[in-house]
Structure 1
Amino acid sequence: MRGRDLINNGLPDELILEIFQRLDSKPTRDACSLVCKRWLNLERFSRTTLRIGASFSPDTIVTLLSRRFLHITSIHVDERLSLSLPPPPPPLKRKRGSKTSSSSSSSASSSKRRKLSNKTRSGGAENAESCSLTDAGVIALANGFPLIENLSLIWCPNVSSFGLRSLAQICTSLRSLDLQGCFVGDQGLSAVGKFCNHLEELNLRFCEGLTDVGVIDLVLGCAKSLKSIGVAASAKVTDLSLEAVGSHCKLLEVLFLDSECIHDKGVVAVVKGCRRLRSLKLQCVNVTDAAFSVVGDFCVSLEILALYSFQQFTDKGMKSIGKGCKNLKDLTLSDCYFVSCDGLEAIAHGCKELTRIEINGCHNIGTRGLEAVGKSCARLTELYLLYCQRIGNSALYQIGKGCKSLETLHLVDCSGIGDAAMCSIAKGCRNLKKLHIRRCYEADNLHILFSMVGNKGVVAIGKNCKSLTELSLRFCDKVGDAALVAVGKGCSFLQQLNVSGCHLIGDVGITAIAKGCPQLTHLDISVLQKVGDMSLSELGDGCPMLKDLVLSHCHYVTDNGLNHLVNKCKLLETSHMVYCPGITSAGVATVVSSCSHIKKVLIEKWKVSERTMRRAGSILSYLCMDL
């Protein structure tokens, strides 16, 4: 009944709080907080996580937030994020001489916001300082949120050991600490080890001010709880720190190392001492096969192994891992030039639980190695092959034959893979959900017709893979309208499509997608010279859920097509349309005015009118400022 509040009068606070806690979307929670003052206070009461950027004064924001949110357990401060105060509301229209309490309140609020904004934006060096979290902000954070358990300080260069020490003394319940890019020294880290004895996760990537002294002090203090450690680009953190970890951190499960100062001695110490090690990610040029021989002997619980840019890791190390790490599920090999098919075969034969494999730039791995994966790893669900020139069609034939559970396949610059491989995948992996292909052809080669993904392969995917939700065919020169017609008919659950650079695709193909894929949310048709207004019109009619649209370099798209699309696609959030001569300032204005959810428009600056600039300057981005 009109005039009666059935929800607030009927539901207690506890039940409304329970509802708020079940909302997994921040925009939804924010919307609920705007219903009434009661819901605003309850939503603040139920909020447990805060994210703070740095384009406004973080120190000031921390103080303000601590007064409003009382049950925060996780705080993420990231100086790469953008955060700004909203513009002041327009003045209320009122009759001459009248003055209401609400208008007075609004004026006071606007005045306070302007003063705060002017204070933080005035001055050059002072302004730069105000846009970065300092020790004062960290101390305010500790005093305002003494019970926090998870804290991330990402690229906060003005936070020193003094601030970190003050925080450690107050926030003794910390379980996760991320200091990526912070220049804190040994004293601050030692304080964390002394006061935060429940710490489980620690990220020290790019913390250049640290040495073994600080790391060892922390390890000794948190030895009984520490489960995850990450270290990268810390030149003074050496094998001594890892020896301390291996001796004291018996519960360690996750280790990430990116360092030229780490050798076999340090890795072996961790492997022998931390028998629960589950995830090992290394980029250490001085670690050799000798260390991985120990990994194979001691890491029986290892599930995730990622190796990057190894210069002294060969098939010998791979064979040790395949022999001992029977529970391995996730393998990444990136730029490991001395690993060949023999090594991958050893992994495939020994690690039959593998569900994810990524091979990136390992030029000595070819068809035979991947065939072994297809024969032995029946549980494989994700396969990423990047810059693998020696892998041919028969490898994917075996994957299609043996890996029936495959859901994700990424192929980047794999010149030996063509339509025959795609047909094998389509027929064997009918549960495929994500297929990404980029430039799978070999230029200036007599066998180019036999090693290129074209219509035949994609048609097979459309006919057989009914669960496909993501399809990316970037710069696949032989893919045309026939391929998209098959996808439109067979893949009704498709949500993301990227056909940028597929110059044979025109209105016929895009129209088929528009009619057959109503759940489409992301579409990239950039650099398609045969696509025009007909495609945009059909997309408007058939894809009302479209959120992201990229149509840069589409010379036959005009304001008319764009107008029809935005009038139907009310959920559009981003639109890239640079180098489209048919789109004018009127088209840009149409997008801005018709799409209430729009967040970003990429366009040439000269196509933006003054009125559009005033109305939506914050969402406009320019690729070419002086064009």
Structure 2
Amino acid sequence: MRGHDQINTFLPDELILEMFGRLDSKPSRDACSLVCKRWLALERLSRTTLRICATGSPDLVVDLLAGRFRNVRTIHIDERLNISLPCQPPGRRRRTDIAAVSSVKLHCANEKNGSPDAGSDSCSLSDAGLTAIGEGFPKLEKLSLIWCSNVSSLGLISLAEKCILLKSLDLQGCYVGDQGLAAVGQSCKQLEDLNLRFCEGLTDVCLVELALGVGKSLKSLGIAACAKITDTAMEAVGLHCKSLKNLSLDAEFIHNKGVVAVAQGCPALKSMKLQCINVTDEALSAVGTSCPSLEVLALYSFQRFTDKGLSAIGNGCKKLKNLILSDCYFLSDNALESIATGCKELTHLEVNGCHNIGTMGLESIGKSCPRLTELALLYCQRIGNFALSEVGRGCQFLQALHLVDCSSIGDEAICSIATGCRNLKKLHIRRCYEVLSLSLSQGSQLFFAKISCYSTFPWLILLG
């Protein structure tokens, strides 16, 4: 806007900021920031999210960006990202994507040193970068550090002391220690969401300290592949984290004692995803008895619980909407019948590799769960046509059906679904060799159907 532009001159800053807030895409915001220096400064003030990849020198990039974007509240740093762009001529520099800024710096450093490997030590975020984040973004509320292997407790302590407004912290794959996470619990009293997947350096000590510090605010907790986390940590969570709503737990050293403590201490739980090989019916019974608000339950690779545990879920968790059963070999039709009888609000069901569940179990779902909208049957050899026929009659709101390697399901079942499920939008069939031809009624609003039978007569059907 060169010359005397009275429209731009008289527009208040608040109105321009409101305009930036209504732009959906980053390219549009970038384009607006190039209009004039005033718009550039205002756009920087309105920017609330930054994404940084590991290509280049993340520490330096964070330091540079901190002076430009003072109101950032969300930062994502992912060391799995790798974007390589050529350097731009000095006379044609413009503000680019954050990932591009990072890659340009590494490219230039390598060219200067004459080696493509030079400067590779600076390709990972370090404690210096975390310190820069803490000093440069005091309003930070959400931070994701994905596989940032060079950060340690020292950097996390520095960040926690500065970013006291932090509400969400993702440390997936970061080898931080107990002291760093304990500092988060002491300083970030508003923390609600914490992901500790693949944080191998943590022990029970940090989770106990964390539960003491932010137990009143913590709502979501994810733990996976943390071999030093035991029932002691879960007992602390159950004792202090009364507002916990989401728990994702993948730990081979967690037993009934830990899961029972969380179930009994956190009655507000709405989502629970468990992969704990040492957990038995006792733990699931506690969940069914103490968690009446549970809406999502995912059970992976359970070898030590039976129909008794899932029956407790059916009897106590009346609000259950989403159920995933994967490789639970000791469950039978009785387990699904218990869910069907007690969980009338069920909308999503996935049965994967549960070889003792057959036609009768799914038939009960079709009869008793009319709100079902998505059904996935994976490697279910014992479920036959009659089960899906019952689903077709009773689940008129079904929108998505996934069938993989179900050798007992054929054309009859698919036709029943097409006739009864008029809202069906997605049908995915793979390795179901009895499905050789399809007759889908026009009354079914099928927008996408992918059928891969890998038989003598493979079919690919797209219906509008």
Normalising by the residue count of structure 2, what TM-score does the alignment of the two structures yield?
0.92
Structure 2: how far apart are the matches of 1:256 and 1:46?
34
Alignment of 1:262-273 (within 5 A): 262-273=254-265
Offset of residue 39 of structure 1: 3.4
Task: Indicate the residue corresponding to 2:378 in structure 1.
Answer: 386
Aligned to 2:119, the other structure's residue is in SS state: helix
Structure 1: how far apart are the matches of 2:149 and 2:315?
45
Aligned to 1:280, the other structure's residue is in SS state: strand
Q: Is the 8 A contact 2:386 2:413 kept in 1?
A: yes
Structure 2: how far apart are the matches of 1:309 and 1:257?
12
Offset of residue 108 of structure 1: 12
What per-residue deviation string (whole Å, max 9, x for no partner) do you get for residues 56-99 of structure 1?
2111111121122121101111111123445425xxxxxxxxxx
Say which of 169, 173, 176 aligns to 2:161.
169
What per-residue deviation string (whole Å, max 9, x for no partner) do you get for residues 93-147 of structure 1?
xxxxxxxxxxx8438999x997763326746776332111111111111111111
Alignment of 1:432-511 (within 5 A): 432-441=424-433, 451-454=434-437, 456-457=438-439, 460=440, 463-466=442-445, 468-475=446-453, 477=455, 478-480=457-459, 483-484=461-462, 487=463, 491=464
Q: Is the 8 A contact 1:334 1:361 kept in 2?
A: yes
Structure 2: how far apart are the matches of 1:75 and 1:284?
32
Q: Is the 8 A contact 2:246 2:270 kept in 1?
A: yes
Structure 1: how far apart are the matches of 2:227 and 2:376?
32
Structure 1: how far apart are the matches of 2:30 and 2:430?
39
Task: Indicate the residue corresponding to 1:106 in structure 2.
Answer: 92
Q: Letter of the 1:106 partner, please give it.
A: R
What per-residue deviation string (whole Å, max 9, x for no partner) do you get for residues 154-205 of structure 1?
1011000100111111111111111010000011011111111111111111
Offset of residue 299 of structure 1: 0.6
Aligned to 1:68, the other structure's residue is in SS state: coil
Q: Is the 8 A contact 1:57 1:120 kept in 2?
A: no
Q: Letter of the 2:107 partner, please give it.
A: S
Offset of residue 30 of structure 1: 3.2
Say which of 421, 427, 445 aligns to 2:419.
427
Matched, 1:405 2:388: no
Q: Letter of the 2:92 partner, please give it.
A: S
Offset of residue 260 of structure 1: 0.6
Say which of 110, 122, 134 aligns to 2:126.
134
What per-residue deviation string (whole Å, max 9, x for no partner) do you get for residues 545-588 of structure 1?
xxxxxxxxxxxxxxxxxxxxxxxxxxxxxxxxxxxxxxxxxxxx
Task: Indicate the residue corresponding to 2:285 in structure 1.
Answer: 293
Structure 1: how far apart are the matches of 2:32 and 2:378?
45
Q: Is the 8 A contact 2:106 2:119 kept in 1?
A: no
Task: Indicate the residue corresponding to 2:193 in structure 1.
Answer: 201
Offset of residue 367 of structure 1: 1.1
Mark the structure with the bigger radius of gyration.
1
Aligned to 1:229, the other structure's residue is in SS state: strand
Matched, 1:353 2:331: no
Task: Indicate the residue corresponding to 2:46 in structure 1.
Answer: 46
Structure 2: how far apart are the matches of 1:211 and 1:114?
39
Offset of residue 294 of structure 1: 1.0
Q: Letter of the 1:365 partner, please give it.
A: I
Aligned to 2:81, the other structure's residue is in SS state: coil
Structure 1: how far apart are the matches of 2:7 and 2:313?
60
Gaps of 5+ in 2: none
**Identity within the alignment, %:** 62
Q: Which has the higher contact order (CA 8 A, sep 6+)?
A: 2
Offset of residue 364 of structure 1: 1.0
Structure 1: how far apart are the matches of 2:202 and 2:93?
49
Alignment of 1:49-88 (within 5 A): 49-88=49-88
Structure 1: how far apart are the matches of 2:196 and 2:44?
32
Matched, 1:342 2:334: yes
Q: Is the 8 A contact 2:385 2:413 kept in 1?
A: yes
Offset of residue 41 of structure 1: 2.9
Aligned to 2:139, the other structure's residue is in SS state: coil
What per-residue deviation string (whole Å, max 9, x for no partner) do you get for residues 410-463 of structure 1?
11111222221111111111111222222211xxxxxxxxx2142x24xx15x2
Aligned to 1:310, the other structure's residue is in SS state: coil
Alignment of 1:90-101 (within 5 A): none
Tell me the number of residue pairs that the alignment of Structure 1 and Structure 2 aligns: 455
Q: Letter of the 1:452 partner, please give it.
A: V
Aligned to 1:30, the other structure's residue is in SS state: helix
Gaps of 5+ in 1: 90-103, 442-450, 492-627
Offset of residue 153 of structure 1: 0.5
Q: Is the 8 A contact 1:52 1:58 kept in 2?
A: yes
Alignment of 1:293-372 (within 5 A): 293-372=285-364
Task: Indicate the residue corresponding to 2:182 in structure 1.
Answer: 190
- The farther-off stretch of 130-139 and 407-416 is 407-416
Matched, 1:255 2:247: yes
Quickly say closer, same or farther: Cα 1:303–1:120, change in 2 above 3 A: farther
Q: Is the 8 A contact 2:351 2:376 kept in 1?
A: yes
What per-residue deviation string (whole Å, max 9, x for no partner) do you get for residues 445-482 of structure 1?
xxxxxx2142x24xx15x2333x34332234543558x
Task: Indicate the residue corresponding to 2:12 in structure 1.
Answer: 12
Q: Is the 8 A contact 1:155 1:182 kept in 2?
A: yes
Aligned to 1:118, the other structure's residue is in SS state: helix
Q: Is the 8 A contact 1:453 1:476 kept in 2?
A: no
Say which of 112, 117, 122 aligns to 2:107.
117
Q: Is the 8 A contact 2:84 2:104 kept in 1?
A: no
Q: Is the 8 A contact 1:52 1:83 kept in 2?
A: no
Task: Indicate the residue corresponding to 1:92 in structure 2.
Answer: none
Offset of residue 52 of structure 1: 0.9
Q: Is the 8 A contact 1:79 1:132 kept in 2?
A: yes
Normalising by the residue count of structure 1, what TM-score does the alignment of the two structures yield?
0.69
Task: Indicate the residue corresponding to 2:221 in structure 1.
Answer: 229
Q: Is the 8 A contact 2:85 2:104 kept in 1?
A: no
What per-residue deviation string (whole Å, max 9, x for no partner) do you get for residues 492-524 of structure 1?
xxxxxxxxxxxxxxxxxxxxxxxxxxxxxxxxx
Q: Is the 8 A contact 1:198 1:222 kept in 2?
A: yes
Structure 2: how far apart are the matches of 1:368 and 1:233?
36
The alignment yields a C-alpha RMSD, in angstroms, of 2.5
Aligned to 2:285, the other structure's residue is in SS state: helix
